[in-house]
Amino acid sequence: MTRNPHDEARELIALGDGLSDPQQVWLRAHLDECEACRHYAEAAGRVVRALRSQPLAADSRLVRATQMRVRFHASRLRETRERLWLVGMACLGVGLSATLTVPFLWRLFAWLGDWAGVSSWIWQAGFAFLWIAPALVVSALLLARGTHLTSNGEKQWR
């Protein structure tokens, strides 16, 4: 079987570093006398170098993307924590003010109901509405403010 020496040379070039000493000697001798295979070897070398530099570039891109994702996740966690804290404070404030004002308001409504001469369920319904409505408004305001604050802080932090 006769093999084309150029095919043989290109096969050896494709093998790259894994050549035996006699193969390297033969290949070098062939490249010295054959311009076509020399060009092929140079092109192959360029491809190999390009392939070797590629994973590095992809790695740094991947690292940057991962860092950004981690940072984004951390800020999301922080934001959620801050919002939960604000919700907790809002609930606490509403609960506290309700506890302090309910007995007073209840007596005031009872007195007003008595003074106006309406049946007790009317002033009791009015009391319930007036007691719930501010709590709802306050918690809604605090929540909106909380979202606003955290989105502002986010901009400054970046």
Give the binding site for Zn ion (CB under 5 A): 6, 9, 34, 37
Cα–Cα distance list, 5 to 13, 38, 129 (Å): 12, 13, 98
Of 29 and 136, nearer to Zn ion (C-beta) is 29
- Shortest distance, position 56 Cβ to Zn ion, whole Å: 32
Identify whether the C-beta of residue 10 lies closer than 8 Å to the C-beta of residue 36: no
Of 12 and 37, nearer to Zn ion (C-beta) is 37
Q: Which residues of 95-106 are buried (b: 16+ CB within 10 A; e: fewer)?
A: eeeeeeeeeeee
- Shortest distance, position 34 Cβ to Zn ion, whole Å: 3
- Shortest distance, position 24 Cβ to Zn ion, whole Å: 15
Of 38 and 78, nearer to Zn ion (C-beta) is 38
- Shortest distance, position 28 Cβ to Zn ion, whole Å: 12
Of 13 and 90, nearer to Zn ion (C-beta) is 13
Of 10 and 90, nearer to Zn ion (C-beta) is 10
- Cα 127 to Cα 104: distance, rounded to the nearest angstrom: 11
- Cα 81 to Cα 87: distance, rounded to the nearest angstrom: 10
Residue by residue, DSSP assigns 61-73 as HHHHHHHHHHHHH
**Amino acid at position 133, single letter:** A
